[in-house]
Each structure stands twice: as C-alpha cells, then as structure tokens.
Amino acid sequence: MNKWMELADQVLEGKEVTNEEALSILECPDDDVLLLMHGAFQIRKKYYGKKVKLNMIMNAKSGICPENCGYCSQSSISTAPINTYRMVNKDTILEGAKRAHDLNVGTYCIVASGRGPSNKEVDHVVEAVKEIKDSYGLKICACLGLLKPEQAKRLKEAGVDRYNHNINTSASNHANITTSHTYDDRVNTVEMVKESGMSPCSGVIVGMKETKQDVVDMANSLKALDADSIPVNFLHAIDGTPLQGVKELNPLYCLKVLALFRFINPTKEIRISGGREVNLRSLQPFGLYAANSVFVGDYLTTAGQEESDDYKMLRDLGFEVESVEEMKALLAAEK
C-alpha cells in the first residue's frame, strides 16, 4: 500500500494529520501525484461518494469597496477596468436564482462587494431570499462582508442557509495582503455566523506569495473554525491589482493543495473555486478526486468556463450532480 493510502486510512480512523505530514503532501513528488489523489479520493468517497455539489455566484454589487485587498479588482486601490454598480434590483437576483435552478445548481450565492452591508442592503437581500425560497427552494449562501450580530440574525430568519466569509490567507501572511481589516475581523465574522445558526463557509486564495507552511496553517485554521464549506481559490492575478503578474502556481501543485485540504478537513465540503480554469487547466477533472464541490458559471469579475463543459467533465468522470431535490431534502433534514 502506498503512503498516501496509509495516511488516508489513518484519517478515516480519526487520526489528525501532523504538520510534517501536511507539508509532505505539498512536497509530494510530481510523479506520485496520482497516488496522492487516490488517497484523497478514499476520504472523499467515504463522506460524499461520487456526488458533486454545484454552486453559482450572483455578483449583486460590484466594486465601490473601501478595502485594500491586494488580490481584488474591486478594492479601493485597484485600477482594473471592471463594471461597478450598486446593489442590483430584486428581479435581477431572482433571475439569477431561476437560472441556477434551471441548471440544477443546488447552492445560489449572493455576493456583494464592500466592507460590510448597510441595513438597507440587508433588507434588500432578505426580501429577495424570501421570494427565492418560495419559488425555487434553493440553498442560499450570502457573502456580504463583515456582519453585525443583528444583521446575521435577520439573514438567518429570512432563510439564508450559509454565509461565506473567507479567511483568504494565513494569519501571518494577512498583513501582506490587506491592512484595512485584520485577520481576527474575518475570524470573528465566521464565529458570528455560527452563533446565528447559519452554516459557516470560509476558504482561501492560494498563490499570494505565501509559504507552504502558510497553506498548511490555512487548512488547519479552517479545521479549528469548523467551517462546513471550504472554497479553495487559486489566484487569478488581475492587472491593476497589487498582485498583478504573480504566477506562482502550476496544475500539479494545485492538486496537492486540494488533497491537503481533504486530508485535514475530511468531512467538509471542499469546493474548487475561482482561478481553477487558469491554474488547474487541463487537470481540472483530477481536482474532483479530492474536492466534492465546484462553482459553475462566472465569478465576480472574471469569467468561468461554459457550464456545458463542466457538466461534460463531471459526466466523463462518472460523477453525479447532487440535484436540487436532494439539496432540499438535506436542508429539511438539517432543520
């Protein structure tokens, strides 16, 4: 038995991955990556079988953000030529939900730029979410920035199932990425989400000049936070941002990162997220041997690949999309 299968068996028996073992995953020889992914798949298969969860983003408010995040084309310091607009109207949010439903996407993510939402913006999202729940029964994830406790409560009461707030990077690398808010600000928002009763979603962006130890620390931090859903983004460096031109990643390393997150967070939803098309490239299908979830369609200010290509990829893998009806049943069981 290869070492990665042995480690997978140990994880399935309840063993936690040591720091040394975690680093060895990221340093796995390229020739052994298929063995590594086979080990990761044993864990993924135990908890999720061959099901894949689909997620779709609605960029409900773009740009106009006072923060200085170095990766983001919507930040106050970005000169990237993007569309900027205030919160879209309710009908636009509902149209996005219908499209997600028609494409058999289980989770619809309403995302708004900014440090945090105004109460008026929360009112707007609450109104839209109630109609989406009545019309389509989709799982709703909101991503609106730093929250106040009363805002989190209102979103939960309206039917928001999950709230996303990424830690993005490690605590030690955070100040190299942004100084307009702290790492603890992000952690505190995730904790507030948990207290409200919404499911916590928090992930990372890999490829922002961090060390391998930083990547291990990210995976362990999300384990400590007990995030239910972990989006793993790979930096798609955008011209006009401080990280423009940064291209540290290659497809095999991205696979090692996904395997690492599966080994450290065996029971959690691991989602291949932004930047997969430009960083995993032709190896995208292999990523789903570790991850069990994927975004389809476009991202916030960058384009994704055609949804039809994603469905073909899943079919070619012999994987099965978790249907909207299955998602509804899971949500009902959770309540």
> Cβ distance 139 to 327 under 8 Å?
yes
> Cβ distance 260 to 215 under 8 Å?
yes
How many angstroms separate the CA atoms of 272 and 258, rounded?
8
Q: Tell whether 72 is in a known binding site.
A: yes
Cα 65 to the chain's mean position, in Å? Answer: 20
Q: Tell whether 143 is in a known binding site.
A: no
318: helix, strand or coil = coil
Residue 103 neighbours by CB under 8 Å, 6+ apart: 54, 56, 296, 297, 307
Q: Tell whether 28 is in a known binding site.
A: no
How many angstroms separate the CA atoms of 310 and 313, rounded?
5
Whose tokens are 């190299």? That residue is 176
Q: HSE on the CB side for 26, CA within 13 Å?
A: 20
Binding site, annotated residues for [2Fe-2S] cluster? 109, 141, 201, 271
- Pick out the residues of the known binding site: 65, 69, 72, 109, 141, 201, 271
Which residues are annotated as part of the binding site for [4Fe-4S] cluster? 65, 69, 72
